[in-house]
Structure 1
Amino acid sequence: MDHVVCFILGGGHGGALYPLTRSRSVPAVPLAGKYRLIDVPVSNCLNSRLGSVFILAQYQSVSLHRHISNTYKMDPFHGGFVEVLSAQQTNETSDWYRGTADALRQNLRYAEREGVTDVLVLSSDQLYRMDFEAMVQGHRASKAACTLGVTAVGPNRVRRMGAAKIDQGNWVRNFVEKPGRDQLESLARPEAEDPVRPFLANMGIYLFQWKVLQEMLGETPHMDDLVTQVLPRLMNQGRLRAHRHHGFWEDLGTVQSYHSTHMALTTDHPPFDFHAPDGTIYTRMRNLPGSRVNSSSLRDTLISDGCEIGVGCVIDRCVIGVRSILGEKVLLRECIIQGANEYESSDERRVRQGSPEPPLGIGENTVIEGAILDKNFRIGRNCRLVNRSGVNFADGPFYSIRDGILILPTNCVVPDNTVL
């Protein structure tokens, strides 16, 4: 695995996750209370003994840079690195990345080193656990120009993704991005072991031969996108192969999938288990105390480090992020609470005395349902934040609603007695 270099694509402006991406890039969006989305692909690389990892960033990359530099401090005696490469003007180009292929084109030179044979390209908005060694071995044995990671999905999901049709040797014979209903029959696998999931979807995981990728991107400067331009060309040449992933995999690139996946994590048998001893998901180490829960009722809930839960709270199917502060008799149902970057100091609390702005956290007697509260929220007392009308899309003075889910952005302030 020493001869494989990994590039993780940082994505665009992240409109499908807005307002979670209002002040950060997609890879820096919080995950499961204490992680960031970028921790998943980086951890999979490290667990697969891949030590050369580049993260390609373009939009609002400050928090991503900070997280990577504070988290992945590699041992100098064993080598390896995790490095963020931001879009930049050079003598060769003055443009931002025009697409996924162009992002690789502009940064391949940083990966040039003796002995590199393969390039692994990953996405930064997915949740899965995968050992890439088996994929690399199959890729090299088949001598494929590119190996595409695929997983079985049903018809509703495949229409939002790319679908591959493979032969008995796992060579891709047809590939359609976001297929229509009239194309599904030709892409289904009649021999599928699970008739509910007869399609093979593109996971956004690509393993290229180094020389092939270098030549294609160098000789065809008009090719800017991997999925719509590079992969079809390799498929038509008979050089695109598929590698099947059988474990859990979920794209978290929309508010709906982000919220529903978090709710699934709170169940007795979550589809993805962060507690699993094999395939650890790494993140920043924090010197935080254990969480304190005072005479409250909790059901199917994840609580991260350093939280304070007041007396009489009722929390049902929630993910509670680091440093979350809840006053007395708060009711939370099906919420993602991202927590805070820092505790509020005694001096800060003293300065705010008499201010109409609530303290950091959630005030007493407040009810919140079906919501995502981003970092550093200040929610007053006796508030009721519930999308009772079932609005699917809206923007208000202190909130947004996407896919019916109420979202309070970073540093949101909600006065006492607010009713939504």
Structure 2
Amino acid sequence: MGRVLAIVLAGGEGKRLMPLTEDRAKPAVPFGGSYRLIDFALSNLVNAGYLQCAVLTQYKSHSLDRHISLTWRLSSLLGNYVTPVPAQQRRGPNWYLGSADAIYQSMNLINDAKPDYIVVFGADHVYRMDASQMVQAHADSGAGVTVAGIRVPRKDAWQFGVIKTAEDGVAISEFLEKPADPPGLVDSPEESYASMGNYVFSTEVLVEALEKDAANPASRHDMGGDIIPMLVEEGRASVYDFKRNVVPGATDRDRDYWRDVGTLDSYHEAHLDLVSRLPIFNLYNMQWPIFTSNSQLPGAKFSQGASVRDSIVCAGSIVGPASVEQSVIGTQNFVGDGSYVQRSVLLDGVHIGKGSVVRNAIIDKNVVVPDETLIGVDHAEDRRRGFAVSEGGITVLGKGQVVKP
């Protein structure tokens, strides 16, 4: 198929995930106890055999850069790499003005690699996907760009960027941003294609489009908002049906799973998808592993009297004679005697004191919850104490937030 360069867009601020993104970029937000969001995109690319990956970073990128540098080490002897690329003002005194401008300002990566195709993936979705199958479909189609589309119920598609196809079901005729009346599919009128934010470009088409976009003062310089509509208008865009993608080890239950975790509620819901007996998204598929750093920590420990059900508990954590249900417990956490943690996500280094109740909550790193504290039980009280409460009723504590007794 020719040479492929992978570019991962990881400069997102993630305002809707505040306070989790107050101190880190959205792709660096921890997920699933052991991972960060960017690990899913990078694992999909590496498992597919794409071992030259540039990660474009910008917003509060220190923890993201550190994670990539320490975790994603490929064989330099074979010319493989995953490397963070910060904004460098190569095109003038501006930081990245949008996702398209980020690639335009990093054109040196394309000039150096001289790829035939460029895979552009977002860094903040949870899913499994064999990117090589999408590249093959793009090469076979002869299109200038191929956009990954996931089938969603038509009644829910207004929340997404929606792809309308021609009668052949492949060529894209319109790219609609959150339409009030989403178009149905040719073969399934009650479903619509939502854009997954993943693209495959023929190199010369992308370079030409970026040059045009950079010269347009009215552009927002966004991949989904400007580059894709431009190529759709020129008749050079096609859709790749995510349902066609076959990942080794996938189950019927999690095969088509894709989750945009751009809000606190969707982030919380995606964690609940992990912990059931038959998980909606299966982290334990070792035929298509999600890679991350391995902490040098002892295994999790459970005291006599501990009750843990439908939960993930990571290395270095200790659960006393307490109850944990439908929760994800990160590394080096402590759950004290008589405490009750339900439908909650605890990131690393959280200490839950004795007799406390944590329900429907997300607690970021290094928070100490005093003895006999209630979190997520009374939303009015949570707000009074300075905790964030999402629209869906999830109580969120930021990194290192002080919780007074």
> Does TM-score exceed 0.5, indicating one fold?
yes
For 2:163 and 2:77, the matched residues in 1 are separated by 42
Partner of 2:93: 94
The answer to whether the aligner puts 1:380 opposite 2:373 as a matched pair is no
* 1:351 match: none
Per the TM alignment, residue 219 of structure 1 is displaced from its structure 2 partner at its CA by: 3.3
Change (3 A) 1:169 1:260: closer
1:276-315 equivalence runs, <5 A:
276-294=285-303, 295-311=305-321, 313-315=322-324
Quote the residue 1:399 is aligned against: 387
Measured in 2, the distance between the counterparts of 1:401 and 1:156 equals 27
Write out per-residue CA displacement over residues 257-289 of structure 1, whole angstroms, 9 at most, x where no aligned residue: 100111111112212111012211000121111
Q: Is the counterpart of residue 364 in structure 1 residue 351 in structure 2?
A: no
- SS where residue 164 of structure 2 aligns? strand
Contact 2:376 2:394 in 1 (8 A): no
**What is the CA–CA distance in structure 1 between the aligned matches of 2:155 and 2:380, rounded to whole Å?**
22
Report the CA distance shift for 1:242/1:190 in structure 2 as closer, same or farther (over 3 A).
closer
Answer yes or no: is the 8 Å Cα contact 2:169–2:186 preserved in 1: no
Moved more, 265-274 or 382-391: 382-391
Q: 1:236 to 1:335 in 2, by over 3 A?
A: same
Residue number in structure 2 paired with 1:73: 73
Amino acid at match of 2:115: V
Structure 1 residue ranges without an equivalent (≥5): 341-359
Amino acid in the other structure paired with 2:312: L
- Where do 5+ consecutive residues of structure 2 fail to align? 244-255
Match of 2:272 in 1: 263
Q: How does 1:185-334 map to 2 (within 5 A)?
A: 187-189=183-185, 191-192=187-188, 195=190, 198-221=191-214, 222=216, 223=219, 224-246=221-243, 247-294=256-303, 295-311=305-321, 313-334=322-343
SS of equivalent to 1:414: coil
Q: What SS does the aligned partner of 2:45 have?
A: helix
Identify which range, 255-264 or 11-20, moves more after superposition.
11-20
Check the 8 A contact 1:2/1:51 in 2, yes or no. no
Give yes or no for contact 2:379–2:395 (8 Å, CA) kept in 1.
no
Structure 2: distance between partners of 1:114 and 1:100: 20
| CA offset digits 1:6-29 (Å, max 9, x no partner) | 111114321011100000000100
Q: Which moved more, 1:199-208 or 1:213-222?
A: 213-222
Residue 378 of structure 1 aligns to which amino acid in structure 2? V
Q: Equivalent pairs: percent with the same residue?
A: 31
| Residue in 2 that maps onto 1:46 | 46
Amino acid at match of 2:149: V
- TM-score, normalised to structure 1, is 0.88
CA distance 1:240–1:396, change in 2 (3 Å)? farther
Give yes or no for contact 1:332–1:369 (8 Å, CA) kept in 2.
Answer: yes
Q: Would you say the 8 A contact 2:370–2:404 is kept in 1?
A: yes
CA shift for structure 1 position 55: 1.0
Distance 1:117 1:18, change over 3 A: same
**Is the 1:48–1:132 Cα contact (8 Å) retained in structure 2?**
yes
CA distance in 2, matches of 1:293, 1:112: 54
Q: Deviations over 1:135-175 (max 9, x none)?
A: 11111111110000001012454212111122325111122
**2:24 alignment partner in structure 1:** 24
Name the Cα RMSD after superposition: 1.8
- In 1, Cα distance between equivalents of 2:212 and 2:237: 19
Counterpart of 1:148? 147
Per-residue CA distance 1:106-139 (angstroms, 9 max, x = gap): 1121232354111111111101101111111111
CA contact (8 A) 1:398 1:413 kept: no
Aligned partner of 1:408 in structure 2 is 397
1:357 alignment partner in structure 2: none
Whole-Å separation in 1 of the counterparts to 2:197 and 2:354: 44
In 1, Cα distance between equivalents of 2:75 and 2:95: 33
Alpha-carbon deviation of 1:63?
0.3
With 372-381 and 210-219 compared, the bigger mean Cα shift is at 210-219
Counterpart amino acid of 1:377?
Answer: V
Length, aligned pairs only? 386
Aligned mates of 1:282, 1:396 — CA distance in 2: 40
Return closer, same or farther for 1:323/1:31 CA change in 2, 3 Å cut-off.
Answer: same
* Letter in structure 1 aligned against 2:192: F
Post-superposition shift, 1:79? 2.4
Question: Structure 2 vs 1, CA of residues 236 and 337 (structure 1 numbering), >3 Å: closer, same or farther?
Answer: same
Aligned to 1:350: none
Q: Is the 8 A contact 2:163 2:193 kept in 1?
A: yes
Amino acid at match of 2:185: R
Distance in 1 separating the partners of 2:95 and 2:7:
17
